[in-house]
Structure formats: structure tokens, C-alpha cells
Structure 1
Amino acid sequence: MKTPVEQSLYERLGGIEGITSIVDDIVENHMSNPAVNKRFLPLKDDPQHFAEVRQHLINFLAAGSGGPEEYTGKDMLSSHKGMNISQGEYMHVIDDIMKALTKNNIDEQTQKDVLTIAYSLKGEIAGV
């Protein structure tokens, strides 16, 4: 068995099953967070689009963490351009992600690794 240091981020997040659970919790957190839910609640009105966005999120996190899944969605800059996401909204989204990781019993180092990645994407998401 691999030690946590030898495991990929994908493995530490629980593989596709763990990532799917994390993404579902992130989406639920966004839907119930009054600081950002206006951006996410409309997805409930279009179940097909919601399913597509959810799958893109799962594939993005899985592929980006070293899994075999392929992400075929838009890059972060293209998918967020024109949304005028504020720095405050971005921080709320980060908080929602961290809550989901905690809920799914993700260890502290792995949470820090995900946080580092999330912050690295900030310039492609917030204020574009």
C-alpha cells in the first residue's frame, strides 16, 4: 500500500467515487451559500445543463488531480469570462470547497494541495 506521500492527489481524494462525492457537496454548498447561490440556483431550472456542468466539474477535478478521466470542457478563462466574479465571491467558493473536503474526511495536507490549486486558478476566474 502506498503511503500518503506516494499517492497521487487523485488517490488521496478517493478516486472517481470520492471526487464525485466532493463535487456533489461543493455544488450543494454553492446552492445554499447566499453569497454565490444566485450563480448556481438557475442550474436547477435546466436539469440537462446541470448534469453537464456537474460532469465537467467531476472530470476537471479528476483529470487535474492525476486521474484517467478526460476533461473536455472549456478552459477556466473562457468558461468564466464576462461573469464578473468578484474576489469576495471567489473566496466564498473556496470556503465551500474546503467545507466539502472536510465533510469528506480529506486530510489536511490534501486540503492544502487543493487550496493551492484553487488559488492558482484565481486569475482565470475572478474579475475576468
Structure 2
Amino acid sequence: MEKSLFERLGGTDGITQIVDDAIDAHMNNPQVSARFLPYREMPEQLALVKKHSVEFFSEGSGGPTKYSGKDMSIAHRGMNISPAEYMHVLDDILETLDKHKIDEGTKKDVLSILWSLKDMIIAQ
């Protein structure tokens, strides 16, 4: 029997490490860092963003954790995220998956989920 996406991402621990590294990558990416660097001065908000990201990917990949955050459209309302920024974030996530030695099939599954969210996030 094939492993779930949740299992292939390393379960809660693996997803947590991926989220931490992806957010670090966003903070170091000059194309999107302005959106993420302010969280360094708001550690409680950063912890909440990470918590919601872990929950979102856990639930969305077949894990046991339920997402407790806002709907994607509501969470990104007023941010006016451009298509280019969205692509930079996706690139950071894919590079993070490479860093964690995630296989190509699993990366494609993650990309499919991220791509399905595009219209809920861009230009909201």
C-alpha cells in the first residue's frame, strides 16, 4: 500500500521542519522577504503562521491534525500578492523540499496542492 503524502513528508515532524525552512527561505528571498521579515519582530505571530502552515499541510496531506486557521481567501485578503510573488514562494518551497530530499513524486503532489490554492491567494 502506498504511503500517504503526510507520511512521505515525514509526518508532523517532517512537515514542521519543512515549514520552518520554507519560511526561513522566504525571509531570505529578496523577492518576497518584505512580506515575511516583519514576523521576526512578532514572534507570537510568526509562531501562529508556522502552526497554521503545519496544520494546513498536515490535514491537506492526509495527516491527523486539523487546520484551525482562516480560509485561504480570507487569510490573504488585502495582501495583494502578485503572481510573481506567488511563484517565488513556490520556488522556495520546492527548494526546501529538495533540501529535505523529498522525492519527485511527492514534490509534484505538494506542487499540485499549492497550485490549487493560487486563485485563493493571488490578488486578494
TM-score range, shorter chain: over 0.9
For 1:60, give the aligned amino acid.
Answer: F
- Say whether residues 1:29 and 2:25 are aligned partners: yes
- Say whether residues 1:122 and 2:121 are aligned partners: no
CA positional deviation for 1:82: 1.0
For 1:119, give the aligned amino acid.
Answer: W
- Where in structure 2 are the equivalents of 1:6-17 lying within 5 Å? 6-17=2-13
Alpha-carbon distance between aligned partners in 2 of 1:112 and 1:65, rounded to the nearest angstrom: 13
Aligned length: 124
CA positional deviation for 1:23: 0.4
Aligned residue for 1:73? 69
Structure 1 outlier segments of 4+, above 6 Å: none
Alpha-carbon distance between aligned partners in 2 of 1:22 and 1:50, rounded to the nearest angstrom: 15
Coordinate RMSD, CA, aligned: 0.7
TM-score by length of 1: 0.95
CA positional deviation for 1:24: 0.7
For 1:113, give the aligned amino acid.
Answer: D
Unmatched segments (≥5 aa) in structure 2? none
Alpha-carbon distance between aligned partners in 2 of 1:44 and 1:66, rounded to the nearest angstrom: 30
1:33-74 CA distance string (max 9 Å, x none): 000000000001111111111111111111110100111100
TM-score by length of 2: 0.98
1:38 to 9, 34, 41: 34
1:70-115 CA distance string (max 9 Å, x none): 1110010000011000000000000000011000010000000101
Unmatched segments (≥5 aa) in structure 1? none
Aligned residue for 1:84? 80
Percent sequence identity over aligned pairs = 55
- Say whether residues 1:53 and 2:46 are aligned partners: no
